[in-house]
Amino acid sequence: MTDSPRPLATPSGRPHPRSAPTTGGEVWLRDPSPTLLAAIAIGLVVVVLASIVSLFATPRRPDLPPPLKGEAILASPTRAGSVTETPGESYAPPSVSFSGRAVAPTRTTAPTRRATPSSRPASPKPTPTRPRPPVVGPGELAALPASHEAGLRSHGGGPSTFVDFVNARESTVVVHWINYDGRRQQYAVLRPGQSYRQQTYVGHPWVVADERGRGLACFEPDRQTLRAVIR
């Protein structure tokens, strides 16, 4: 008898595992080369330097906006003028004596002359007068000399406040704000006797000048509302 042919073994249904293909990205991540590491380091340094340069190149902006326009307190002031009265002339006639008695003339003796001294007394030398400090009344800001303007400029961060500018002079004055660059910025023109209230910030100096631009006084605002009197 011949043996019957055996059936061939059938392959199992499970596929054989195959190794996944490796990509180029995984290759340089697993084994980075020194050139690649150097390129990454140079790129990081360039990014850091660019951010630093852009930070310093950006102009610094002030923390606070410029002051708002002020409002007039006394637009048409009435000033009490001093009136001086001139004395009236007297027309009363002199008294006349009607006595009929004859009066004998009297001899008048010549006045004796006094001897003039040969040397005149030395006149005392005038003592130099020291400048008096400006008088600051209650509720007033201390006025700084106009020479301080060159070293003043605004800086942000202070609280909001008000200043009442009062023109006590006989001429027109101009109120200027000293901005963040140390330059003047005109805000108000006050005629003699006028005053107005100005919104500002602590740390924002002001200068008052005449019509020709000559500085008269500087003021630094306070936390409470005070008067800046221009004398």
List, for residues 156-198, the tens digit of each pLDDT value.
878 999 999 999 999 999 999 999 999 999 999 999 999 999 9
* Domain spanning 137-230, CATH architecture: Sandwich (2.60)
Mean per-residue pLDDT, 1-15: 54
Using 50, 70 and 90 to split pLDDT, how confident is the model at 75? Answer: very low
Element housing 206 (H / E): strand 206-210
Using 50, 70 and 90 to split pLDDT, how confident is the model at 23? Answer: low
What is the Cα–Cα distance from 207 to 144, expressed in whole angstroms? 9
> In 3-state terms, what secondary structure has residue 52?
helix
What is the Cα–Cα distance from 178 to 201, expressed in whole angstroms? 12
Higher pLDDT, 158 or 29: 158
Residues in the chain: 231
Higher pLDDT, 52 or 53: 52
Q: What is the DSSP letter of 148?
A: G
Given a contact cutoff of 8 angstroms between Cβ atoms, the answer to whether 139 and 226 are in contact is yes
- Least confident piece of the model among 59-63, 87-91, 145-149, 203-207: 87-91
Using 50, 70 and 90 to split pLDDT, how confident is the model at 63? Answer: low
Mean per-residue pLDDT, 142-162: 93
